Amino acid sequence: MTANHLDYEEYFSRTFGRWTKLWQQMTIPNERVLMLVRWVWSFFLFVSEQLKGDTLMRTLFKNATLVTMNEQRDVIKGDLLVEDANIVALGSNLVESADRIIDVQGDLLIPGLIQTHIHLCQTLFRGQADDLELLDWLKQRIWPLEGGHDPESLYDSARLGIGELFLGGTTTIVDMETVHHTEHAFQAIIDSGIRAISGKCMMDHHDADVPLTLQESTEASLQMSVDLFERFNGAGNGRLQVAFTPRFVISCTDDLLREVARLAKLKKAYVHTHASENRGEIEVVESTRCMRNIVCLEHLGLLGPRTILAHCIWLDDQEKELLVRTQTRIAHCPSSNLKLASGIAAIPQLLAMGAQVSLAADGAPCNNNLDAFIEMRHAALIQKPLHGPTVMPARQVFELATLGGAKAIGREHDLGSLEPGKKADLAVVSLQGLHTWPHEYTDVYAQLVYQAHASDVRLTMVDGQIVMQDRQLKTIDVDVLKPSATASLQRVMQRVGC
């Protein structure tokens, strides 16, 4: 057994207590049967992963169009060999022995897509908060719903989101959970096989709009975040990194934010938060902190290359320069920004200034999809009426969804492109649909950004493990998940009085 694999004793200590607690909460026999099935499935996946760690699995992808995203941006007709969790070779007509051979039949083999701002905790609330602006969306719908989560509903919500992400070729996410029960979302991340930076939402500043179910003290918020870091950071064979994730400036005290900056530096952890998404948000920050949002974050020590800020729409020139100078990461979420009428971020200008930008879908209730292909298309199209048809060309946008995401999380050395030595995080995208036909004499990046859909993804692999093939999820039992998610939503809605 390799050293970076959890042993069985640790597995049981992390999971058995959770399942036992949930079992005791359930009084309906059918719910207990469902829970038993889930526990057995989780244990089966764990054992399979351990056994895989003892022997190298070799997978050979044949007859692919390899969109490498290497330094030369080579697009190669050929093959790619994966050994265990890593890419070991690619080129024309590889002659290699392999445990499994997958004929891609000329379709595109791309680096796994990376989304740098997701809320798995909100997937269960898709369709429950439409046609509202940000602050009303939060206060009237999302905060009460998040506060209504129980451990099982959060687990279901996370699995629901991860399944959708896998079906769309996303292999890595930066995720913000809700205030409570975060360990159950972490367990969903571990069980499913996705790669993630995730953390507990921190909200220690309370007013009348924050439900009691989301209120916490500064000390409790910090302690819980540290405990989660110590318990889970590096879990899932290193796929899960734990971050500190304060919601945004107006829901946090300065004391909390300063301590987050200190702890993140001490533990070499990421900070993931929202900033300058909405004009109303900025007005609140200016009225309470007497400074602009990004200036406030700098004042508190939170800017830098290990901080990921979602949105960054309403920035003045000083704030843009601060983000560029500090190399703070920006997660651009065009669909969410459009649906909430938050605005259009100045991404072309920021990129020209040297800002580090990546893409994401945000949460399901403000999108209402977790589809990286939609985000790529919107990222390109929304800028063209403002700046002309040549701005945000397809290749640049695809870079944001792959290498841009890898750079955002400090993983460009092993993620974001198809190269020997990098992690085997990849996806196969079919070009056989009428909406992608004909596919001769066309630019491959235009095909991916303007034509392809999430439903064109035929296979998704993370860390050398196939998590989706032929539109079938391999680590998530959809027949179990769907009725369980429906029951979870019903419990939450009853709990919050909706």
Give the list of residues 6+ apart from residue 283 with CB closer than 8 angstroms, or none: none
Q: What is the pLDDT of residue 44?
A: 63
The answer to whether 38 touches 156, Cβ cutoff 8 Å, is no
Tokens 């998610």 found at: 485
- Residue 394 and residue 386: Cα distance in Å, rounded? 17
Domain residue limits, the chain: 113-408
94-110: pLDDT as tens digits: 977 899 999 999 999 99
Q: How confident is the model at residue 3 (pLDDT cuts 50, 70, 90)?
A: very low
Q: Is the pLDDT of residue 49 over 80?
A: no
Residue 208 pLDDT greater than 90, yes or no: no
Q: Is the pLDDT of residue 251 over 60?
A: yes
Q: Identify residue 42 by its one-letter amino acid code.
A: S
Segment 79-95 shows an average pLDDT of: 94
Higher pLDDT, 47 or 69: 69
For the chain, the average pLDDT equals 92
So what's the pLDDT on residue 207? Answer: 86
Question: Topology of 113-408 in CATH?
Answer: TIM Barrel (3.20.20)
Residue type, 165: L
Place of tokens 């000083």: 318
Per-residue pLDDT at 5: 36
pLDDT of amino acid 17 = 55
Backbone phi, then psi, for 197, in 5-degree steps?
Answer: -105, 120
Higher pLDDT, 36 or 470: 470
pTM for the model: 0.90
Residue with tokens 């595109």: 108
pLDDT tens digit string along 109-160?
A: 999 999 999 999 999 999 999 999 999 999 999 999 999 999 999 999 999 9
Check residue 54 and give its pLDDT.
52
pLDDT of 494 reads 95
